[in-house]
Structure 1
Amino acid sequence: MADRVPRPSADEETAPLLHDPDADSPQNGHGEHEAGHRSFTERVNSIAQEPLTPLTKVLLVVCLIFLLLSSIFIGLFAGAQHKLNSGFGGQPGDTVTLTATTTAYTTTTAAPSPGPTQPPSEPPCLDADCIVLSAAILSSLDTTHDPCEAFFDFSNGGWLKQHPIPADKGSVSQFGELAKQNQQVLREILEEKTTIASTDYDGQLLGKIRGMYNSCLNEDKLDAIGMEPLLHFVHTIRHLLHEESTGITAQEKTKVSAKGLTAAIAFMHSRGLDALFSFNIEGDVGVDNTLSLWFNQPPLGLPAKEYFEDEDIRHLYQDTIERLLVTVADEGSKLRSKVADSLEATIVNQAESVWPPWPWPPWGGDDDDDKPENQTERAHRLAKAAVKFEREIAKASQDLDVLQEDPIASYNPVPLDNLTATLTQIKFTEYFSTFAPRNFPSKIIVTYPPYAQSLADLLEKTDSEVIEAYLVAHAALSLSPYLGLSTEAWKTQRALVEELSGIKKGVVGDRSEHCIGQVEQTLGFAAGRYFVNATFGGESRDKGTKVITDIVEAFKASLKDIQWMDEKSAKAAAEKADALRVKVGFPISPDTRDAASLVRYYGLVTINEDTFFENILSAQRSERIKEWLSLGRKRDPEAWEMWPSMVNAYFNPPANEIVFPAGILQAPFFSKDWPGYLSYGAFGQVAAHELTHAFDSAGRLYNQEGLLKSWWTNETSAGFQKKQDCIVKQYSNYTIDDGKGGQLHLNGNLTSGENIGDTGLIQAYRAWKSQYNTSFDEGTEYILPGVPYTRDQLFFISFGRIWGRSMKTAAAVQQVLTDPHSPARFRVDGTVSNIPEFAEAFKCPKGAKLNPPVEEQCRFW
């Protein structure tokens, strides 16, 4: 990606753009006296004949700039008036051609575009900030599109044309561009370009985050080390897996021992690599939210289980696994030879204890006379078997839409003995001891009970060498991104990523951007301390919180008018909204205001500027240990699940909280100086979305204490289900290009919770309207210059702009198969089609695509 710093947000622009000529300094007294005795013509001639002083030259340049800006400004308003007279810019019969994304969509040819309602007549704000903000809004639009037919294209077409998808990315978006802007702030800190008044604790924190960054940035060092760190990791897996295999019979050695498999899996899990299954520490939402052990299916090497049923992709994945197995074998042999040639025999012996010989498994004695198998043939055979093994795991796994949308089906508390009796290939007592919990749990929660039995059956019938190949390939695929770019393992996994994401082959983005992301992923709260100090001052937190609380109040006020919700359920919903915890900006656990708190939080993370691979593993191991040590405790009510610089937000059902990091409280989502209609349209939508999650298809099943308890009446639940069925049907009818000449439908069940969350936009609109008179009197509903749209229209434009995004076809397909969020186009058009206030604001005629008949609208609130 091009290393281009995004344009500063409006609140960062402080220099006046227009100057008042009356404010210029007068001539000195002597000059004024002489001028008073000469005619105007004489004075002009005198000035023309005099040599220009430096001051005069400056003043002439200022005058010329002023004249030029005046001409532009007059033209801007003239153009605005022309648009008012002729509509949004589209002409009757214009054909709409989509060019913003490579993913194909079907749109309707625009009818004559309706004109905007009469914009406000009061004088606009002419400050530099207002002019820059106006330019940003106008440049993001594509007025050749009818907003009543394709509002996503109307509100984002201009921005998308200015932001083509980089060759090294699968998509480009407003979220992503803001994330880059936030990373530039961190870059100044990490590269020591920003002076920070440090305490001793700050010195320790800065040492960690800068050490992680520099170890990632040092590509020469990474290339010199090569694959050695990965080989250490892989050989540790093999050693643990087969430590009990010495001396066993040929028949027995085809099956992996429970002790060996347990040791290998525990080692991988403790470093953040979940293979075969995974454990998470989450609250027991059926009892008291005490942090408990949840047994889950594992992540897959491909993005979703559906990919394993695509023959072309399955073969590509098999080729990737084969290349990784061959690479690990080849590099391991080279390293052993290098060690043997360069070290004394005693050191060689020590090295061999770390680097067991290649043949899988590393036992011997029983079949020395057997003809050795060609290494390439062996890798091909094992890759095919390992992919078949993982495909069976995928088939045995629960579908994502059930895991995402049905928390009751995913909550299955059982005695630990049930799991140990089913999955006998794992010795769970030894497994737990790896994570040093204070005590072993007697009860666990299983998200999908059939999976444990399916896994046990699969392990029973699978040879040990196939299980080993699966584990080695899983480790290599997960960890090779932390190697040097010249290594074969890095190139192999990258080729798979390129194919699945549509990234141009061989193109790699800016290394510093990647490394800042690694710092955020591993030490995000530490880095967040300095990000917040640099970007989140003044009234940002208070003004952001006010938008959120206004929306909560608007939601509560609307409950009495919801036809499908009875009075009893409405009262309970208001109580849940009142109990909602609102967190804005930065966490206090760990406390980003206190460097000592952060030093304690990251105390287990060891950073060395020469060992990026080990730094990553240290951070991941530290995170796992902290999670396991919390087992049996009450949830920390102040804990956060996102770091402060993150451009995102979330609702956490068990904690009944909505959280908004400082990273998203930046333009184009938010500015403390924006007029209300923009703030409530953009950040207000984010806030309303998270609030609405408390009452969506999954969130509604948790009560105000975050427990899975029934708190709606049966009648209200039935009424909600009808609305949910409506929105599932609506979004299931949307399609994208599948990249193979056909269409791929959205999974309306998988995305229903997020789509319902998006319907919260109406609450943001109501919240803005409810405070409008007050904010107008306070001067915070000011008009922007040259923007020919009403405040109501700009509210919706502000909403539409934040979802500006285009995707390559492969990336779009991956999103539809894996992501509970709908593609951005449908998050915009699908949402406003269910809001009559949108159609009213843009005077959309009946029958317009985004003004469907009332009976076809999915209106929740």
Structure 2
Amino acid sequence: MGKSEGPVGMVESSGCAGQKRPGFLEGGLLLLLLLVTAALVALGVLYADRRGIPEAQEVSEVCTTPGCVTAAARILQNMDPTTEPCDDFYQFACGGWLRRHVIPETNSRYSIFDVLRDELEVILKAVLENSTAKDRPAVEKARTLYRSCMNQSVIEKRGSQPLLDILEVVGGWPVAMDRWNETVGLEWALERQLALMNSQFNRRVLIDLFIWNDDQNSSRHIIYIDQPTLGIPSREYYFNSSSNRKVREAYLQFMVSVATMLREDANLPRDSRLVQEDMAQVLELETQLAKATVPQEERHDVIALYHRMGLEELQSQFDLKGFNWTLFIQTVLSSVKIKLLPDEEVVVYGIPYLQNLEDIIDTYSARTIQNYLVWRLVLDRIGSLSQRFKDTRVNYRKALFGTMVEEVRWRECVGYVNSNMENAVGSLYVREAFPGDSKSMVRELIDKVRTVFVETLDELGWMDEESKKKAQEKAMSIREQIGHPDYILEETNRRLDEEYSNLNFSEDLYFENSLQNLKVGAQRSLRKLREKVDPNLWIIGAAVVNAFYSPNRNQIVFPAGILQPPFFSKEQPQALNFGGIGMVIGHEITHGFDDNGRNFDKNGNMMDWWSNFSTQHFREQSECMIHQYGNYSWDLADEQNVNGFNTLGENIADNGGVRQAYKVWCGSYRPEFAIQSIKTDVHSPLKYRVLGSLQNLAAFADTFHCARGTPMHPKERCRVW
């Protein structure tokens, strides 16, 4: 569950930095066995009966419909009744699931989310492979893209040639060329190289420039400048420790192997010494960039991050040894025929990084910087090449994710097409698998959960009445998007086809097709600079098992893919719907009031609507939660502690949502991925999401008769909302 937003693209490297990404429901995994009070009370009755504890109430009615029986079986299968729930409720509720499920060789973690996504992908495979009747242009293009991805024999036959061709366009990859300095290097300009990577290949390397809603005026778009992401998912991997060193060594060997193969394919000598030296320099450069970036836990205060300035001030503050900001930005925007205005403003998020970048640019040669820029493009494109290139990353992926086996080809292709043509694919999924009347039922649940959230504001002694009133106004102003945008199903509405009008795919040119997607995606985002913000725009596809909250829009989104059991079903007891999608709704609503969302008003504008009294007490309440989660030590991640600062927003949302419904998250991690997760994930590990939120809930201890001082009934509880 998440809190920030932005355009999404499927990338094989670590993605695009700084971009206000969709904050996701579960950070990519997790099993959710979601139970409302009624369901947990039912478990409590079973437990009480086993312990001989008298219950005050008798169950007056037993539901025996197929939906109820299925839900009951799921709950019982997932439980481990040999565990005392007051000692370890996670094991009590999830032990059966953990015992019955082994992490597949292709996965770094496994949960009900993975199960649901597997099932969703089976549906998508069928609709993408269906060619019995000609469909609308957008859908036909999605099917062509899918077939090009599945055309493995052609991909193998073409080998590295598509990549070698594109390297010429980007000014060459010095490590895989002969005499780069003498041919290209003398005309090399950093501004133009960064602009080319950004506008043509959607790779925002070294400096992250993107367009999104202005935090201070959510009705308009503005240019953002921020620190970038890195080749390895977390900056922590670039610092010394035994596990980090293994990842870095595998990453370097991956770089060396790819460069060596491309030299051979270009009929150049292997020159192992040159390749090793060049790529070691690239890793050293990237390590310095990692040190220059600010850790995520220090970037939670969006008000402190936000610095709006004109181009002259940008140039004077961050000269970067003569880097021409106007040239860089104008070259990016020229790709969509936009001219900078005389009074153009930008928002700088990454001031400390830009201050540190100057010395780095001064230290490294044009050759090393170009090697790095092109490596990031190559890293992103490995998955579009023949199998021998994928084989070079096996050890790196093993060190990073714990996996040795790659996803089967059809699943990889389904995921790629869904990520890049989400509305076209979403239209196929909705027609095939989404019952239309679900929308109204979910909307009713949202209204009820929102009402409960507003009512609980009265319980908060730390918040004054004026701030409570503003919080109520914001909660009541939250807009919702449910299932899918209507136009993707309207045959006479050409909007869906127009979205993909610039794409022309060929079944035999998967690599080139993927480059089209990068370019069109980048330019679609850049064009927004001169467009008004569309409050009804969907920025996530329908065929997605996830949900999120957007602070700039004060909006919660529940795609069709998540509106299925165990989250939601017309057939299962309403209690489980409240505990399932109801918990998700409560979580997303609470994101509007977490450490990030609280900085935005009911219209999505960054504004301090809090009194000094309430602000101070919010921080004090949050400190309790930071300390609580920061003291959880995770055995799978070499006993590292959870980052209470990084995970604060999600923990606040978990604890807020659980007051409308109880929930349990069950799932397994590989140790390598556990280490990555604790460095990069804004969510706490599954076990501690369960234990942390339920330890803070008095009703839980009451239901299970947990004595004070037991693990699930601590002497001190934390509460924000």
Q: Does TM, scored on the shorter chain, surpass 0.5?
A: yes
Contact kept, 8 Å, 2:250 with 2:395, in 1: the verdict is: no
User: For residues 519 and 85 of structure 1, do their structure 2 counterparts lie closer, same or farther at Cα, with a shift above 3 Å needed?
Assistant: closer
Instruction: Measure, in 1, the Cα distance between the counterparts of 2:640 and 2:540.
Output: 32
Number of the residue aligned with 1:458 = 360
Q: Secondary structure at the match of 1:757?
A: helix
| Alignment equivalent of 2:221, drawn from 285, 291, 297 | 291
Whether 1:564 and 2:425 are equivalent positions in the alignment is no
Q: Partner amino acid for 1:419? A: L
Deviation at 1:560, TM superposition (A): 2.0
User: Residue by residue, what CA displacement relative to the aligned partner does 1:352-395 show, whole Å, maximum 9, x if unpaired?
Assistant: xxxxxx69xxxxxxxxxxxxxx7110111111111111111111
Whether 1:160 and 2:98 are equivalent positions in the alignment is yes
Deviation at 1:547, TM superposition (A): 1.1
Number of the residue aligned with 2:537 = 639
Contact kept, 8 Å, 1:115 with 1:842, in 2: the verdict is: no
| Alignment equivalent of 2:273, drawn from 377, 383, 388 | 377
User: For residues 385 and 133 of structure 1, do their structure 2 counterparts lie closer, same or farther at Cα, with a shift above 3 Å needed?
Assistant: same
Whether 1:238 and 2:171 are equivalent positions in the alignment is yes
| Alignment equivalent of 2:328, drawn from 417, 424, 428 | 428
Number of the residue aligned with 2:394 = 494
Contact kept, 8 Å, 1:685 with 1:760, in 2: the verdict is: no
Instruction: Measure, in 1, the Cα distance between the counterparts of 2:240 and 2:704.
Output: 44
Instruction: Measure, in 1, the Cα distance between the counterparts of 2:445 and 2:527.
Output: 37
Number of the residue aligned with 2:192 = 263
Q: Partner amino acid for 1:282? A: W
Number of the residue aligned with 2:18 = none
Instruction: Measure, in 2, the Cα distance between the counterparts of 1:156 and 1:179.
Output: 20
Instruction: Measure, in 2, the Cα distance between the counterparts of 1:736 and 1:114.
Output: 34
Contact kept, 8 Å, 2:194 with 2:328, in 1: the verdict is: no
Q: Partner amino acid for 2:607? A: K
Instruction: Measure, in 2, the Cα distance between the counterparts of 1:820 and 1:114.
Output: 41
Deviation at 1:808, TM superposition (A): 0.8
Q: Secondary structure at the match of 2:538?
A: coil
Whether 1:824 and 2:720 are equivalent positions in the alignment is no
Number of the residue aligned with 2:410 = 512
Contact kept, 8 Å, 2:198 with 2:332, in 1: the verdict is: no
Deviation at 1:84, TM superposition (A): 6.7
Number of the residue aligned with 1:815 = 677
Q: Partner amino acid for 1:230? A: L
Instruction: Measure, in 1, the Cα distance between the counterparts of 2:538 and 2:510.
Output: 26
Number of the residue aligned with 2:494 = 596
Larger RCO, structures 1/2 (Cα 8 Å, 6+ apart): 2
Deviation at 1:309, TM superposition (A): 0.5
Instruction: Measure, in 2, the Cα distance between the counterparts of 1:315 and 1:537.
Output: 48
Whether 1:210 and 2:143 are equivalent positions in the alignment is yes
Q: Partner amino acid for 2:391? A: K
Contact kept, 8 Å, 1:324 with 1:476, in 2: the verdict is: no
Contact kept, 8 Å, 2:424 with 2:488, in 1: the verdict is: no
Number of the residue aligned with 1:317 = 248
Deviation at 1:495, TM superposition (A): 2.5
Deviation at 1:125, TM superposition (A): 2.9
Q: Secondary structure at the match of 2:683?
A: coil
Q: Partner amino acid for 2:539? A: E
Deviation at 1:231, TM superposition (A): 1.8
Deviation at 1:334, TM superposition (A): 3.2
Instruction: Measure, in 1, the Cα distance between the counterparts of 2:554 and 2:46.
Output: 50
Deviation at 1:203, TM superposition (A): 2.8
Whether 1:578 and 2:472 are equivalent positions in the alignment is no
Number of the residue aligned with 2:666 = 804
Instruction: Measure, in 1, the Cα distance between the counterparts of 2:650 and 2:45.
Output: 36
Number of the residue aligned with 2:351 = 449
User: For residues 711 and 437 of structure 1, do their structure 2 counterparts lie closer, same or farther at Cα, with a shift above 3 Å needed?
Assistant: farther
Number of the residue aligned with 2:485 = 587
Instruction: Measure, in 2, the Cα distance between the counterparts of 1:279 and 1:617.
Output: 19
Contact kept, 8 Å, 2:450 with 2:589, in 1: the verdict is: yes
Contact kept, 8 Å, 2:254 with 2:396, in 1: the verdict is: no
Instruction: Measure, in 2, the Cα distance between the counterparts of 1:284 and 1:834.
Output: 36
Contact kept, 8 Å, 1:755 with 1:822, in 2: the verdict is: yes
| Alignment equivalent of 1:143, drawn from 77, 81, 86 | 81
| Alignment equivalent of 2:423, drawn from 511, 520, 525 | 525
State the TM-score, normalizing by the size of structure 1.
0.73
| Alignment equivalent of 1:387, drawn from 260, 283, 301 | 283
Contact kept, 8 Å, 1:230 with 1:480, in 2: the verdict is: no
User: For residues 715 and 491 of structure 1, do their structure 2 counterparts lie closer, same or farther at Cα, with a shift above 3 Å needed?
Assistant: same
Q: Partner amino acid for 2:356? A: S
Number of the residue aligned with 1:169 = 107
Higher mean Cα deviation, 492-501 or 118-127?
Answer: 118-127
Q: Secondary structure at the match of 2:237?
A: helix
Contact kept, 8 Å, 1:88 with 1:146, in 2: the verdict is: no
Contact kept, 8 Å, 2:330 with 2:339, in 1: the verdict is: no
Q: Secondary structure at the match of 2:167?
A: helix
Q: Number of paired residues?
A: 671
Q: Secondary structure at the match of 2:196?
A: helix
Deviation at 1:331, TM superposition (A): 3.3
User: For residues 239 and 418 of structure 1, do their structure 2 counterparts lie closer, same or farther at Cα, with a shift above 3 Å needed?
Assistant: farther
Higher mean Cα deviation, 418-427 or 627-636?
Answer: 418-427
Higher mean Cα deviation, 587-596 or 175-184?
Answer: 587-596
User: For residues 593 and 129 of structure 1, do their structure 2 counterparts lie closer, same or farther at Cα, with a shift above 3 Å needed?
Assistant: farther
Q: Percent identity, aligned pairs only?
A: 29
Structure 2: where are the runs of 5+ without partners?
Answer: 1-31, 34-41
Instruction: Measure, in 2, the Cα distance between the counterparts of 1:385 and 1:825.
Output: 40
Instruction: Measure, in 2, the Cα distance between the counterparts of 1:82 and 1:396.
Output: 51
Give matches, 1:36-47, under 5 Å: none
Structure with max Cα Rg: 1
Give matches, 1:76-225, under 5 Å: 87=48, 117=55, 120-192=58-130, 202-225=135-158
Deviation at 1:333, TM superposition (A): 4.4
Instruction: Measure, in 2, the Cα distance between the counterparts of 1:129 and 1:546.
Output: 20
Instruction: Measure, in 1, the Cα distance between the counterparts of 2:314 and 2:253.
Output: 33
Q: Partner amino acid for 2:96? A: G
Q: Secondary structure at the match of 2:556?
A: strand
User: For residues 618 and 565 of structure 1, do their structure 2 counterparts lie closer, same or farther at Cα, with a shift above 3 Å needed?
Assistant: same
Instruction: Measure, in 2, the Cα distance between the counterparts of 1:852 and 1:749.
Output: 21
User: For residues 561 and 324 of structure 1, do their structure 2 counterparts lie closer, same or farther at Cα, with a shift above 3 Å needed?
Assistant: closer
Whether 1:419 and 2:307 are equivalent positions in the alignment is no
Number of the residue aligned with 1:770 = none
- Misfit runs of 4+, over 6 Å: 81-86, 245-248, 253-256, 589-594
Higher mean Cα deviation, 685-694 or 591-600?
Answer: 591-600
Q: Partner amino acid for 1:328? A: A
Deviation at 1:273, TM superposition (A): 1.7
Q: Please give the root-mean-square deviation of Cα atoms over the aligned residues, in Å.
A: 2.9
User: Residue by residue, what CA displacement relative to the aligned partner does 1:641-675 show, whole Å, maximum 9, x if unpaired?
Assistant: 21111111111101111111111111111112222
| Alignment equivalent of 1:334, drawn from 236, 245, 265 | 265
Deviation at 1:720, TM superposition (A): 0.8
Instruction: Measure, in 2, the Cα distance between the counterparts of 1:162 and 1:216.
Output: 34
Contact kept, 8 Å, 2:259 with 2:275, in 1: the verdict is: no
Instruction: Measure, in 2, the Cα distance between the counterparts of 1:758 and 1:593.
Output: 40
Instruction: Measure, in 2, the Cα distance between the counterparts of 1:753 and 1:492.
Output: 38
Number of the residue aligned with 2:5 = none
Q: Secondary structure at the match of 1:703?
A: coil
Instruction: Measure, in 2, the Cα distance between the counterparts of 1:592 and 1:447.
Output: 40
User: For residues 298 and 616 of structure 1, do their structure 2 counterparts lie closer, same or farther at Cα, with a shift above 3 Å needed?
Assistant: same
Instruction: Measure, in 2, the Cα distance between the counterparts of 1:594 and 1:416.
Output: 45
User: For residues 733 and 82 of structure 1, do their structure 2 counterparts lie closer, same or farther at Cα, with a shift above 3 Å needed?
Assistant: closer
